[in-house]
């Protein structure tokens, strides 16, 4: 099993996603002899998972069923254990596009955190690219190494435990792109410039506060970066559902009903279009925004090394 190469069969040691519904799923480490409890009953790894195909429908001990999905960076973002605040797919998608990443790209990242963006970057640059990720916190760096090993991507990533603001990324003039998600990104701009290739490399800084953005932009200008721009991604989800709207009374319906002898009190006419007009409402499908939505996550500042 690898997050960048699809495997058909579930094997011992794999990380799989147990899918109960769109709003309910979780990861599980497949191990011979282990069991996993769900609200639909027990899943026995030896008999219910190992040797089955990814995407299979598995019946639990209480008679309910779940799907077992192959892990992807998107599914991992939704289910990973949170060691820090993470980036979600809305921001990740624009980051990978604006940094112009592709298979074979070399990327530097700080900090690693929970590895949400890291998995997406690895999948984007595979199979010949590489990710150099720096994490200040020693335990988080070690846990990230273990996860990359378990997920079959350790050959595509190098994890370093150090302070990027003082010691940089550990590489020079090879990176196609640099991503910063740290409290004081302006202190790492010089190291980012040193890590980027001679010219044309791209940089992105993620910051939740506009004051951080201001200081970062000033530092980028000081180090000669160009095409500096900041944006914010807000996701607005719509539900498609049936709604009722009142029909304006223009006087035409009443005249037509009287001329045709329409009787609204007759039960046989209650389901007709004329009955709906007489009642003054019409139903149709429409897109309605959610009452609550995810608001501000952070500002993304992009620039190019000239």
Does 128 map to a domain?
yes
Q: Do 41 and 128 sit in the same domain of this protein?
A: no
Which residue range is the domain that position 115 belongs to? 75-234+295-305
Instruction: Dump pLDDT digits (tens) for 50-93.
Output: 999 999 999 999 989 999 999 999 999 999 999 999 999 999 99
pLDDT range class, residue 210, cuts 50, 70, 90: very high
2 among annotated binding-site residues? no
Does 273 map to a domain?
no
Between helix 116-125 and helix 138-150 the angle, nearest 10°, is: 40
Q: Do 179 and 212 sit in the same domain of this protein?
A: yes
CB-CB contact of 121 with 78 (8 Å): no
181 among annotated binding-site residues? yes
Q: Do 148 and 36 sit in the same domain of this protein?
A: no
Q: Do 115 and 17 sit in the same domain of this protein?
A: no
Q: Name the domain boundary from 23, 41, 71.
A: 71
41 among annotated binding-site residues? no
Instruction: Dump pLDDT digits (tens) for 228-241.
Output: 999 999 988 898 98
pLDDT range class, residue 291, cuts 50, 70, 90: confident
Q: What is the CATH number of the domain that holds 132?
A: 3.40.50.150
163 among annotated binding-site residues? no
Q: So what's the pLDDT on residue 277?
A: 47
Q: What residues contact 269, with CB distance under 8 A and at least 6 apart? A: 262, 263, 275
Q: Do 107 and 229 sit in the same domain of this protein?
A: yes
Q: Compute the distance between CA of residue 180 and CA of residue 183 in angstroms, rounded to an integer.
A: 9
Q: Compute the distance between CA of residue 210 and CA of residue 213 in angstroms, rounded to an integer.
A: 5
Burial class (CB in 10 A: 0-12, 13-18, 19+), 288: exposed
Does 225 map to a domain?
yes
Q: Tell me the chain's radius of gyration from C-alpha atoms.
A: 27
Q: Do 62 and 87 sit in the same domain of this protein?
A: no
Q: So what's the pLDDT on residue 252?
A: 58
Does 49 map to a domain?
yes
Q: Do 85 and 195 sit in the same domain of this protein?
A: yes
Does 37 map to a domain?
yes
114 among annotated binding-site residues? yes
Q: What is the CATH number of the domain that holds 22?
A: 3.10.330.20
CB-CB contact of 158 with 134 (8 Å): no
pLDDT range class, residue 20, cuts 50, 70, 90: very high
Is 202 a residue whose pLDDT tops 90?
Answer: yes
Instruction: Dump pLDDT digits (tens) for 35-62.
Output: 999 999 999 999 999 999 999 999 999 9
46 among annotated binding-site residues? no
Query: Does 219 or 244 have the greater pLDDT score?
Result: 219
Does 281 map to a domain?
no
Instruction: Dump pLDDT digits (tens) for 116-140.
Output: 999 999 999 999 999 999 999 999 9
- Split into its structural domains, the chain has a count of 2
Is 278 a residue whose pLDDT tops 60?
Answer: no
Q: Report residue 30 as tokens.
A: 């497949």
| Average pLDDT rounded to a whole number, residues 259-270 | 54
Q: Name the domain boundary from 31, 55, 71.
A: 71
Is 268 a residue whose pLDDT tops 60?
Answer: no
Q: What are the angstrom distances between the C-alpha of 222 and each of 166, 215, 226, 264, 305?
A: 18, 11, 10, 77, 12
Q: Do 184 and 211 sit in the same domain of this protein?
A: yes
Q: So what's the pLDDT on residue 56?
A: 95
Does 250 map to a domain?
no
DSSP structural state of residue 175: B
């Amino acid at each position: 099993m690898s997050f960048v190469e699809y495997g058909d069969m579930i094997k011992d040691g794999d990380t799989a996603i147990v899918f109960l519904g769109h709003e309910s799923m979780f990861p599980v480490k497949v191990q011979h002899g282990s069991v996993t409890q769900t609200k639909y009953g027990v899943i026995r790894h030896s008999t219910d998972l190992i040797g089955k195909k990814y995407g299979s429908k598995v019946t639990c001990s209480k008679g309910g069923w779940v799907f077992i999905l192959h892990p992807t960076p998107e599914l991992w973002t939704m289910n990973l254990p949170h060691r820090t605040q993470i980036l979600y797919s809305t921001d990740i998608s624009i980051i990978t596009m604006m940094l112009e990443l592709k298979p074979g790209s070399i990327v530097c990242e700080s900090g690693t955190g929970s590895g949400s963006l890291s998995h997406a970057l690895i999948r984007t640059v595979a199979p010949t690219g590489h990710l150099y990720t720096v994490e200040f916190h020693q335990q988080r760096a070690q846990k990230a190494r273990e996860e990359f090993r378990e997920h079959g991507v350790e050959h595509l990533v190098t994890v370093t435990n150090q302070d990027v603001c003082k010691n940089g990324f550990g590489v020079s003039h090879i990176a196609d792109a640099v991503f910063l998600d740290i409290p004081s990104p302006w202190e790492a701009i010089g190291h980012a410039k040193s890590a980027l290739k001679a010219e044309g490399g791209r940089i992105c800084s993620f910051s939740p506060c506009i004051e951080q953005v201001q200081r970062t932009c000033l530092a980028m200008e000081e180090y000669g970066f160009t095409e500096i721009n900041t944006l914010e991604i807000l996701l607005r989800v719509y539900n498609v559902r049936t709604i009722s709207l009142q029909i304006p009374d223009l006087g035409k319906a009443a005249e037509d009903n009287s001329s045709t002898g329409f009787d609204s009190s007759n039960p046989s006419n209650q389901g007709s279009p004329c009955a709906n007009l007489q009642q003054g409402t019409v139903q149709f499908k429409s897109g309605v925004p959610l009452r609550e939505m995810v608001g501000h996550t952070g500002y993304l500042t992009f620039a190019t090394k000239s």
